[in-house]
Structure 1
C-alpha cells in the first residue's frame, strides 16, 4: 500500500515533466547515427589527403571526383526506390550501355541532332523499364530473374547493333553534357539561392510544427545545422570554382535528387513505395494498386538509367560495348551503404548519394595512390558486406 501511494504520488510529477518537455524546446543534440555516413566520408577524405599530400582535396581532384560519381549517383537514386519497394534491378549497367550506345549510333552513323538522340535514348530507357516492370508486376516473375535476364539481353543487343565497335566521336554539343562546367558567377548565385532556400524551408517547417503543437528543436540546434550545411555548400562551390566551376553532371545529380526526394517524401506515390516494401499484404489491404506502383518504379529506373547512359557516353565521347559493366553492383552498394535496407521498406535517396560519393572517393583515392585495381574491388566488396551486416544487425535488435 505504501509503495502504491508512492507510485501515485510520483506519477503526476513524471507526467508534468513529460508535458513540459513536450511543450518546451529540446536542447541542442548531436545524433551520431544520422551523421555516420558524413563522418565516414570526412574520415576517408582525411586519410587520403594525408596519404596524397593534400592532393585528394585539391580543386581539380574534387571536380573529377564529382564527375566520376555522377553516373552511379543517378543509378543509385532509382535503385533506392526499387529496393525500398522490395525488388532489385541487376540490368541497370547494361541499360546504361545500351541507351548510351543508341544515342551515339544515331548521332555518329546517322547524323541525328543532340536533342533528338537524347529524347530517343530516354524513351528507350522508359520502354525497357516498362518491359521489365510488366514481367515483375503483372506476370509475377521475380525481379532478380527478370533483370538478370535483362542484363544479358540488353548487353547482347548493344553488341549486335554496334557490331562490337566503339562508336565515336560525338558532336561537341553532346560531349558538353558530361564535360562542361557552370560559369563561376552562376555557381555562386546557385549557392546563394540554395542557402536562402534552406533557411526559408527551416523557418516554414518550424512555423508549421508550432501551429500543429509538435515539439521543436532549439533554434541553436536547427539554425546551427543549417548554417553548417550552408557553409559546406559555399566552400564546395568555392573549391570547384577554383578549377573550372561546378560540373554540369553534378548539377544534374542535384536536380534529380531534389525531384526524387520530393516524390519519395511528399507524394502519395512515394508513401506507397515505402508501404509496399514494408508490408505488401497490408499495402494491398489498404487499397494501394501494387502492380501499378511497381511498374512505375521500374519505368523510373529505366529513365534514370538512360540519363546515366547519356552522361557516361558524353563524358567518354564514345560508346563502347563494355560501357556500364558492373555499374549495377556499384549502385546497389551505394544504396546499402547509404542506409537502404535490402529487405525493403526503408531507405533514403540522400543517403544513397552519399554512399555513391563514398564509393567514388575510395576508388579515386586508391587510384591516386597507384594501388592496383584488384584491391579496389576487394575493399568495395568488404564494405558492401559490412554495410549489409550492419543493416541486418540493426533490424534484429529493433525486432
Structure 2
C-alpha cells in the first residue's frame, strides 16, 4: 500500500485525488502489461458471461422446455426481486463494506405495506410508508458504521438480529399477514401482477433500479467518492473527501433499493411472512462477488451483478425442469460459485489487478 504524507517534499509530488480522474497532460506511469497479463485479465472478465452461456446451452440441450418463451419469462420474474436486492448489495460492497441486513429492509417494507393495506389505507400511502419503514434499517446501519464506527459486518449483523425480533414483536410472534384478494386494491395488486409493454412490472422495476444504481455509482461524484473510499479509504480521507457521509449514504441508498423488493414481494404474494427477505441475502452477496470478476479492478458493478443473479436463477430453474431434488439446488449453486471465484483468483495472480482476497478483505471491514 502506498503511503501518503501530509507535506510532500519538493522531490516527491503530492498524491493525486483518488476520487478524481487522471490529470490532464500527465503521462501514464504504469508500463503496458505483457500479453500474458492481458490474456489473464480478459479470461477473468469473461468468466461470468462464459459461465452463463454454458449454463444456458446445457439446460437448453437437456430439457426442451427451458428455451420456451413462457419459461424464460418465469426466469426473469423469479430473478427480478433477487436482482433488486443484489443491486442494493452492490452499493454497499462497492463502498468497501457488507450489508447482512438487506433482508431486514425487504421484510420491514413488506410488513409496513401489507399491514397498511390490510387496515384499509390507500395504495400510495401504504407503498410510501413501507419504503420508509424498510429504509429505516439503512439509517440505523449508517449511524452505527459512520458515527459509532462499528465495522459494517458487525453493525449490519446487529441490525439483522434486531430487525428479525421487531418483525416477530409486531406480528405476535411472526404470524403471517394475508391479504384477501377481493379486498386488495387493484393498484396494489398490479405492482406484482401487471405488465408494462408485455414485461412483468417487477422485471421492469428491477431493470429501472439497475440503471439508477449504475448511474449513481458510475456517473455521479458521490459514486466516485464511494468507490475511492471502498478501495483506498485512508488516501481518500486524507485528500479531503467527506468519506463518512458518503459511506453512510451508501447504506441508506441500499436499504431504500431493497425496500422496493419488499413492496413488490408483498404485492406478489398478497401478504407478509416474517423472514422472507432473508432468502435474498446470500444470493445477493454471491451475485455481487461473481459480478466483480467482470471488472478489471475486481470492482463490484451492476452489469456483473445482474449476470450473477441470472446464473443463480437459471441454475435453480434448470434443475427444477430436470426434476432434480430441491436439496441439490444449494449444492450446485455453491459449487458453481466456488469454481468461478477460485478461477478468478488463480487468473488474477501475476496481473496488475487485485486478487479475490483483496476484494473479500474490503468487504470484511
Q: TM-score, normalised by structure 2?
A: 0.79
Aligned-pair CA distance for 1:251: 0.9
1:303 and 2:314 aligned: no
Aligned-pair CA distance for 1:358: 1.1
Aligned-pair CA distance for 1:326: 3.1
Where 1:56 maps in the other structure, the secondary structure is: coil
Q: Distance in 2 between matches of 1:361 and 1:145?
A: 32
1:42 and 2:53 aligned: yes
* Consecutive unaligned residues in structure 2, runs of 5 or more: 1-41, 353-365
Instruction: Spell out the pairing of 1:105-144 with structure 2 (5 A cutoff).
Output: 105-108=115-118, 110-144=119-153
Q: Distance in 2 between matches of 1:389 and 1:293?
A: 32
Q: Distance in 1 between matches of 2:120 and 2:339?
A: 48
Where 2:260 maps in the other structure, the secondary structure is: helix
1:87 and 2:97 aligned: yes
Task: Tell me the equivalent position of 2:84.
Answer: 74
Change (3 A) 1:284 1:391: farther
Contact 1:273 1:345 in 2 (8 A): no
Aligned-pair CA distance for 1:346: 1.4
Task: Tell me the equivalent position of 2:194.
Answer: 180
Aligned-pair CA distance for 1:171: 3.0
Deviation sequence 1:108-130 (CA, Å, 0-9, x none): 1x211111011011111222211
Q: Distance in 1 between matches of 2:265 and 2:307?
A: 20
Contact 1:72 1:331 in 2 (8 A): yes
1:256 and 2:266 aligned: no
Contact 1:94 1:325 in 2 (8 A): yes
Change (3 A) 1:365 1:345: closer
Aligned-pair CA distance for 1:394: 4.4
Q: Distance in 2 between matches of 1:136 and 1:396?
A: 32
Change (3 A) 1:277 1:309: same
Q: Where has structure 1 moved over 3 Å in runs of 4 or more? A: 31-36, 390-396
Aligned-pair CA distance for 1:148: 1.1
Aligned-pair CA distance for 1:155: 1.5
Q: Distance in 2 between matches of 1:345 and 1:130?
A: 28
Aligned-pair CA distance for 1:334: 0.7
Q: Distance in 1 between matches of 2:340 and 2:154?
A: 24
Q: In structure 2, which of residues 239, 244, 250 is the aligned counterpart of residue 291 of structure 1?
A: 244
Q: Distance in 2 between matches of 1:253 and 1:306?
A: 12
Q: Distance in 2 between matches of 1:63 and 1:325?
A: 24
Deviation sequence 1:203-254 (CA, Å, 0-9, x none): xxxxxxxxxxxxxxxxxxxxxxxxxxxxxxxxxxxxxxxxxx2111111111
Task: Tell me the equivalent position of 2:66.
Answer: 56
Q: Distance in 1 between matches of 2:122 and 2:347?
A: 51
Q: Distance in 2 between matches of 1:390 and 1:137?
A: 35
Instruction: Spell out the pairing of 1:353-372 with structure 2 (5 A cutoff).
Output: 353-372=306-325
Q: TM-score, normalised by structure 1?
A: 0.72
Q: Distance in 1 between matches of 2:340 and 2:291?
A: 9
Q: Calculate the aligned-residue CA RMSD, in Å.
A: 2.1
* Consecutive unaligned residues in structure 1, runs of 5 or more: 1-30, 188-244
Aligned-pair CA distance for 1:389: 2.6
Instruction: Spell out the pairing of 1:202-351 with structure 2 (5 A cutoff).
Output: 245-339=198-292, 346-351=299-304
Change (3 A) 1:340 1:121: farther
Write 1 or 2 for the structure with the bigger share of helix.
Answer: 1
Where 2:299 maps in the other structure, the secondary structure is: coil
Task: Tell me the equivalent position of 2:161.
Answer: 152
Aligned-pair CA distance for 1:397: 2.7
Aligned-pair CA distance for 1:395: 4.3
Aligned length: 306
